[in-house]
């Protein structure tokens, strides 16, 4: 969905490096989410946010942190990247039950 | 716990034939069920959802899904498959334990439509 953008689209980094993935949306939604996708595991929720003052951990938040800088921006950080964080990361937004996804960031940690 | 299961990793079908991608669910209370599709190098796109009402839900690109409460299933169907339908399909259920609109996704089913 072009209304949800993610940067960068691809990133290769080394173990121990700090990395930030950014998400922006123009849909005016208040709810935002970060997921990771791994083959055979589907999508798993990392963090979610109701608004700029509300941040919640998902099922796999260890090793990750987030920042909701504004209603339209939600960033995911890996403070010290490790190889098992290699995955496809998706941002999503919603105002009702339906979530709308960005194009994803493919992250490789060497 | 709220969960969905997609028992098939891959479904193969010839173009023009009907297709079914299976999903079963486990929830407490009434389920909110969703289907999403992921094309190569793209994010997930919403196809359809069941909240309440008619058990046959129609969605995008000619897809439909049938909600069956007795079998706890929500199978995705299309009467005539296209090669362009080849993609990864995810079933999801809303996590009703919280007021927040969290979704729990299945592991995905890859659909391959051959010419």
Q: What is the pLDDT of residues B22-71, one digit of tens each?
A: 999 998 888 899 999 999 888 899 999 998 888 999 999 999 999 999 99
| Mean local confidence (pLDDT), B1-14 | 93
CA–CA gap between residue B50 and residue A78 (Å, rounded): 36
Among the partner residues B45, B49, B100, nearest to A48 by beta-carbon distance = B100
CA–CA gap between residue B94 and residue B42 (Å, rounded): 23
| Min Cα–Cα distance to chain A from B105, Å | 6
Q: What is the per-residue pLDDT for B29? A: 82
Helices (H) and strands (E) in chain B, counts: 0, 12
Contact residues, chain A, for B36 at CB < 8 Å: 101
| Mean local confidence (pLDDT), B70-84 | 96
On the question of pLDDT at B105 being above 90, the answer is yes
On the question of pLDDT at B96 being above 80, the answer is no
pLDDT, one tens digit for every residue, chain A (110 residues): 569 999 999 999 999 999 999 999 999 999 999 999 998 888 999 999 988 899 999 989 999 999 999 999 999 999 999 999 999 999 999 988 889 999 999 999 99
For β-strands B109-114 and B10-14, DSSP reports them as: parallel
Beta partners for residue A93, in sequence order: A32, A100
Scanning chain B, the segments in alpha helix (DSSP H) are none
Concatenated DSSP letters for chain A? -TTEEEE-SEEEE-TT--EEEEEEE-S--SEEEEEEEETTTEEEEEEEEEETTEEEE-TT-TTEEEEEEETTEEEEEESS--GGG-EEEEEEEESSS-EEE---EEEEE-
Contact residues, chain A, for B34 at CB < 8 Å: 97-98
CA–CA gap between residue B101 and residue A95 (Å, rounded): 9
CA–CA gap between residue B54 and residue A99 (Å, rounded): 22
Q: Count CB neighbours of A51 within 10 A.
A: 12
Q: What is the per-residue pLDDT for A110? A: 95
Concatenated DSSP letters for B72-98? TEEEEEESS--GGG-EEEEEEEE-TTS
Nearest to B4 by CA among B109, B84, B88, B111: B109
Interface of B with A in 8-67 (CB under 8 A): 9, 32, 34, 36, 41-46, 49, 51
Among the partner residues A40, A101, A102, nearest to B107 by beta-carbon distance = A40
Nearest to B104 by CA among B95, B113, B114: B95
On the question of pLDDT at B74 being above 90, the answer is yes
Tokens of residue A69, six digits: 């800088």
Among the partner residues A40, A94, A101, nearest to B101 by beta-carbon distance = A94
């Amino acid at each position: 969905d072009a209304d949800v953008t993610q940067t960068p689209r691809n990133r290769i980094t080394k173990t121990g490096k700090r990395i930030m993935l950014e998400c922006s949306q123009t849909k005016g939604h208040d709810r935002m989410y970060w997921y990771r996708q791994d083959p055979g595991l589907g999508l798993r929720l990392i963090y979610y946010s109701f608004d700029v003052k509300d941040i919640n951990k998902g099922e796999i938040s260890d090793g990750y942190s987030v920042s909701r800088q504004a209603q339209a921006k939600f960033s995911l950080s890996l403070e010290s990247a490790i190889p098992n964080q290699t995955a496809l990361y998706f941002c999503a937004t919603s105002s009702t039950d339906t979530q709308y996804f960005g194009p994803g960031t493919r992250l490789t940690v060497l | 716990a709220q969960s969905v299961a997609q028992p098939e990793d891959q479904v193969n079908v010839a173009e023009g034939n009907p297709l079914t991608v299976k999903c079963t669910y486990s929830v407490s209370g009434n389920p909110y069920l969703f289907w999403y599709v992921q094309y190569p190098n793209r994010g997930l796109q919403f196809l359809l959802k069941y909240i309440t009402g008619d058990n046959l839900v129609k969605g995008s690109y000619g897809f439909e899904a049938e909600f069956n409460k007795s079998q706890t299933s929500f199978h995705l169907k299309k009467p005539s498959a296209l090669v362009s339908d080849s993609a990864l399909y995810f079933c999801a259920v809303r996590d009703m334990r919280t007021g927040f609109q969290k979704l729990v996704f299945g592991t995905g089913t890859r659909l391959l439509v051959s010419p």
